[in-house]
Amino acid sequence: MPAELKLADNWTGPQLFERLENQLAGDYLRDNRSGRGILALVYRGEKAGWDVPGWANRVDFDGLIEALRNRWKTISYKFPGVDEITVIGIDLIRRFT
């Protein structure tokens, strides 16, 4: 299963949306033996927010993860050979209470 790990702090929102669609869905999952993939984003707390294409407001890390998941639901029909992409957010600054 192809997986892509990105440090979210190093990327803009539009870049991450492009990587989801073109790199993961369009390139890595092009092989007919690969129908599922993971986009894992790690947040180190260095960035305050991200712009989401088509949204007026910036979002925090949780909002970014939600927006990427929603984007995949919106565009998945364009990739009939891809069964599923899971977007995972790992927030390194969140503390357990």
Q: CB of 4 within 8 A of CB of 25?
A: no
User: Domain map of the chain by residue range?
Assistant: 3-91
Strands of the 84-91 sheet, one edge to the other: 3-7, 36-43, 84-91
Residue 96 has what pLDDT?
58
Q: CB of 29 within 8 A of CB of 39?
A: no
Residue 80 has what pLDDT?
87
Residue 23 has what pLDDT?
84
Place of tokens 């989801």: 20
Kindly tell me if the per-residue pLDDT of 58 is higher than 70: yes
Phi, psi dihedrals of residue 86, rounded to the nearest 5°: -105, 130
**What confidence tens digit (pLDDT) does each residue in 63-81 have?**
999 999 999 999 999 988 8
Residue 51 has what pLDDT?
94
- Percentage of the chain beyond pLDDT 70 is 91
Residue 1 has what pLDDT?
61
Residue 82 has what pLDDT?
84
pLDDT confidence band for 89 (50 / 70 / 90): very high
Burial 66-96 (b: 16+ CB within 10 A, else e): ebbbebbeebeeebeebeebebebebeeeee
Residue 63 has what pLDDT?
96
